[in-house]
Amino acid sequence: MSAKTISSEYLSKHPYFTARKDAYETRDGKIVDPYFLVELPTCVVAMALTQDNEVIMVNQYRHPIGEVIMELPGGFIDKGELPAQAIKRELLEETGYQFETFHYLGITAANPGVLNNFTHMFLATGGIKIAAQHLDANEEIDVILKPYEEVQVMLQHNEIKQSMHALCMFYAIEFIKKNELI
């Protein structure tokens, strides 16, 4: 069930925002023109637990929605980097924590009707603070430690607005329960 791309034109080409206008033909011969999509780098995110089983959360201002929201640490994978390398780097940069163990939880697409990227999800355990934050020039991130039980309640009350991060948290909690990690 695939389609054939007829044309593709870049409207904007930036490392973090590339917009494209395509035309394609469906398998039944229907022409879809125009079809707009956004290209983004692949991402990583982790529900990260300290040695004391506190979940490392971050507060960040998100300009597209005009709010400061609580999220998990994560970010874009750099060119040539594997997802496991990227999440270790992002956690250290954003939080100053290093972790004993990483469990891969899966991959998901945020909005495949418009966005072409994927997010790799992880559970990181055994975190210890070893450094100060090392943020990108445009980042302002407040690190917040939350008890594991409180994070579960936050999910039940729909308090995590970032959908990929909420999904990662759900998968991580299920992994923790199944493997009796806490």
State the Cα–Cα distance between residues 40 and 17, nearest whole angstrom: 6
pLDDT of residue 21 exceeding 70, the answer is: yes
Q: Which has more pLDDT, 136 or 73?
A: 73
pLDDT of residue 17 exceeding 90, the answer is: no
Domains held by the chain: number: 2
133 and 158 assigned to the same domain: yes
pLDDT at 1: 61
Q: How far is CA 113 from CA 36, 39, 110, 145, 176, in A?
A: 9, 12, 9, 34, 32
Enter the pTM of the model: 0.91
pLDDT of residue 16 exceeding 80, the answer is: no
43's tokens: 């991402």
Helix (H, G, I), strand (E, B) or coil at 145: strand
15 and 56 assigned to the same domain: no
Instruction: Please write the tens of the pLDDT for every residue from 58-82.
Output: 999 998 889 999 999 999 999 999 9
Please state, for a pLDDT cut of 90, what percent of the chain lies above it. Answer: 88
The mean pLDDT value of the chain amounts to 94
74 and 146 assigned to the same domain: yes
Instruction: Please write the tens of the pLDDT for every residue from 102-125.
Output: 999 999 998 999 999 999 999 999
Angle 111-117-121 from CA coordinates, rounded to 5°: 90
- DSSP string of 161-178? --HHHHHHHHHHHHHHHH
| CATH code assigned at 96 | 3.90.79.10
18 and 103 assigned to the same domain: no
Task: Quote the domain boundaries for residue 8.
Answer: 4-39
Contact 91, 133 (CB under 8 A): no
